[in-house]
């Protein structure tokens, strides 16, 4: 798999709104112009893979209280050279939650987002070009909090807005509600 596969996925992807349309175009341009887009060493930014993880009855979503950013977010992380962004999302959910039985509800992209990561220590500010997928996991399986998180929680869909006002999270929530009728 190469960046051509991601470019093909992005060409088929239909963004939700004007804001996401602009981010999808920006992400496509980034991938097309940077052969090393999957490498964390690319200082201007890099591809990340993440997931909107729902339970079987679609009433809850798994969120992490991110340790460095101090925000409730979806699980995900760096591609670290892997051009299979769905595999990256699955790996990151497993690493960040301890969940082992996770399955994609589709291999299609669920959401895209481009966001600025602030400088920290000797790491300059840079962009994460995030490709997101829709996954399912068992809400009753035990969770393991890692050093990357302050907390992990299966949040009732109708309570997500109590934890975050991050537009990208609210957009995925709107998409899930439309898709699942919840």
pLDDT at 30 over 90: yes
Average the pLDDT over each of 3-7, 33-37, 121-125, 155-159 and give the range with the smallest value: 121-125
Cα–Cα distance, 10 to 24 (Å, whole number): 7
State the pLDDT at residue 36.
96
Cα–Cα distance, 181 to 39 (Å, whole number): 38
Mean pLDDT of 72-85: 96
State the pLDDT at residue 1.
62
CATH number, domain 3-180: 3.90.79.10
| Phi-psi region at 42: left, alpha or beta (left = phi > 0; alpha = psi -120 to 50) | beta
Average the pLDDT over each of 17-26, 85-94, 113-122, 137-146 and give the range with the smallest value: 113-122
State the pLDDT at residue 23.
96
Cross-strand partners of 134: 52
Determine how many CB atoms are found less than 10 A away from the CB of residue 160.
21
DSSP string, the chain: --HHHHHHHHHH---SSHHHHHHHHHHHHHHHH-TTTT-TT-TTEEEEEEEEEE-TTSSEEEEEEETTT-SEE-EEEE-TT---HHHHHHHHHHHHH----EEES-SS--EEEEEEEPPBTTBPPEEEEEEEEEEEE-TTS-----TTEEEEEEEEGGGHHHH---HHHHHHHHHHHHHHT-
Taking only the tens place, the pLDDT of each residue in 104-162 is: 999 999 999 999 988 888 888 999 999 999 999 999 999 999 888 899 999 999 999 99
């Amino acid at each position: 798999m190469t960046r051509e596969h991601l470019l093909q996925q992005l060409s088929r992807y239909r963004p939700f709104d004007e804001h996401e349309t602009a981010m999808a175009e920006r992400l496509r341009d980034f991938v097309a112009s940077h052969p090393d887009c999957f490498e964390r060493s690319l200082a201007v930014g890099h591809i990340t893979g993440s997931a909107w993880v729902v339970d079987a009855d679609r009433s809850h979503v798994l969120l992490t209280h991110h340790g460095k950013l101090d925000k409730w977010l979806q699980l995900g992380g760096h591609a670290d050279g892997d051009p299979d962004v769905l595999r990256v999302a699955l790996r990151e959910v497993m690493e960040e939650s301890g969940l082992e039985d996770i399955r994609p509800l589709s291999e299609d992209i669920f959401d895209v987002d481009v966001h600025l990561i602030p400088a920290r220590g000797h790491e300059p500010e840079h962009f994460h070009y995030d490709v997101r997928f829709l996954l399912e996991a068992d809400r009753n399986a035990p969770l393991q909090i890692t050093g990357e998180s302050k907390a992990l929680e299966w949040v009732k869909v109708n309570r997500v807005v109590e934890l975050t006002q991050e537009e990208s999270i609210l957009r995925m929530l709107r998409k899930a509600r439309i898709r699942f009728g919840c």
